[in-house]
A = this chain, B = another copy of it.
Amino acid sequence: MDRVINLDNAAATPLHPDVKKRMIDYLETTYANPSSQHSLGDLAAEALDIAREQVAALVGAEPREIVFGSGGTESINHAIKGVAFAKRDKGKHIITSNIEHNAVLRTLRALRLMDWRVTSLDVDEYGLVDPQAVAEAITDETVLITVMHANNEIGTVEPIAEIGAVARERKIVFHTDAVASAGLVPLDVKAMNVDLLSLAANQFYGPSGAGALYVKRGTALWPLLDGGVQEQNKRAGTQNMLGIVGLGVAAEIARAEMDKRAEHTRGLKGRMAAGLKKGIEHLIFNGHPEKCLPHLLSVSVGFIEGESMMIMLDEDGVAVTTRSACAAGALQASHVLLGIGLDFADAQGTLVFTFSPENTEADVDYVVEKLPPIVERLREMSPLYKK
């Protein structure tokens, strides 16, 4: 494992050493159920309270507005289905964008099959949603607007505060999927005018299987998981204590180290872009050049397939992806890349690098050295390519 250069940190960030330490400590000392009313339960309940404060602080929320769950996908499903079901008598229209994560898209697809109607908005060449288009899509039946904070494939950061202002003015519940950005860039639920925000620990050096949904006080929302009285009756089920403890610590560290991390990864991203540009012809860099995540670089390499590059880089000890891990195995071209106007061939030739604080300039230089000959070999075999 030591020799793999991980440039696919969005799939799974390694645990921060302090997160790991706290999780092992919790594993070794505590096992109780935070809902138990005897003293054994108190220890777990305290750990839960601390984590809730840590996560709330990360997004500018009150601790009681944080609902823990099993990850980004659960929080997104909870937000969308929870509002849809709670408001089903008011109306069945939802507004979203064309470049959302599958957790949003497929949740909406399921609702469509149950008679909800969905307006999915076009984005511009950078992947930006136009707040004015959101305003124009609103009808009397609209009960929810869901637009991601930052795109997980191209890194573009959406004008959430502006969309939120539209939603607030029209009194429509607004959810943002911030899974790709929470813990990586500053978030403030009040400034963003959101009612619901989804996040996941495994995007900021916490564990997989733990996430949270911010629920603004007073938001009508059905549980996704019905049952016990956990999480203030908003999410039933005995909590994944170990994951939540890790999520809390990861949130606290992310808040403290955010600027430093962003500066470091932004430097690597720039170095990679410059290096690749120098060594490879016919590149397209995807996403907005400024309104973007600091640690994500998406590049489409003309005339060849991303998967072939990925496999050959893997043989050279570099982990990188062609798209989100959640979509791996789904053999279609990325709807995000098609959504920003790439043609099918360029979309298929895309690599996504996500950098972590553990990556170094040497990692970047290694890829800048290894990738051009790989591209050259693949292009030699490509029927599409002519020098």
Contact = CB atoms under 8 A, between A and B. Distances in A.
Contact of A103 (B41, B88, B224, B228): B228
B225 A328 contact: no
Interface string A1-35: 10010101001111100001001100111111101
A27 B20 contact: yes
Nearest to A32: B12
Contacts of A236: 73, 77, 102-103, 106, 326
Interface string A196-233: 00001010000111100000000000111111111000
A319 interface: yes
A186 interface: no
A154 interface: no
B73 A227 contact: yes
Interface in A17-62: 20, 23-24, 27-33, 35-41, 43-44
Interface string A236-259: 111111110000000000000000
Contacts of A41: 11-12, 319, 325
Contact of A27 (B24, B226, B310): B24
Contact of A37 (B1, B72, B243, B321): B321
A157 B320 CA distance: 50
A227 B101 contact: yes
B15 A33 contact: no
Report copies per complex.
2
A35 B73 CA distance: 14
A260 interface: no
A69 to B, nearest CB: 7
A384 interface: no
Interface stretch (A107-115, A143-151, A262-270, A282-290): A107-115
A71 interface: yes
Interface residues of A, number: 85
Contacts of A24: 24, 27-28
Nearest to A73: B237
Interface string A291-333: 0000000000000000100100110000111101111111000
A74 interface: yes
A328 B71 contact: no
B103 A207 contact: no
A199 to B, nearest CB: 13
B227 A107 contact: yes
A36 B328 contact: yes
A13 B36 contact: no
A42 to B, nearest CB: 10
A139 B351 CA distance: 54
A70 interface: yes
Q: Which 3 residue pairs of A and B lie closest in terms of their CB atoms, listed nearest first?
A: A209-B240, A228-B326, A103-B227
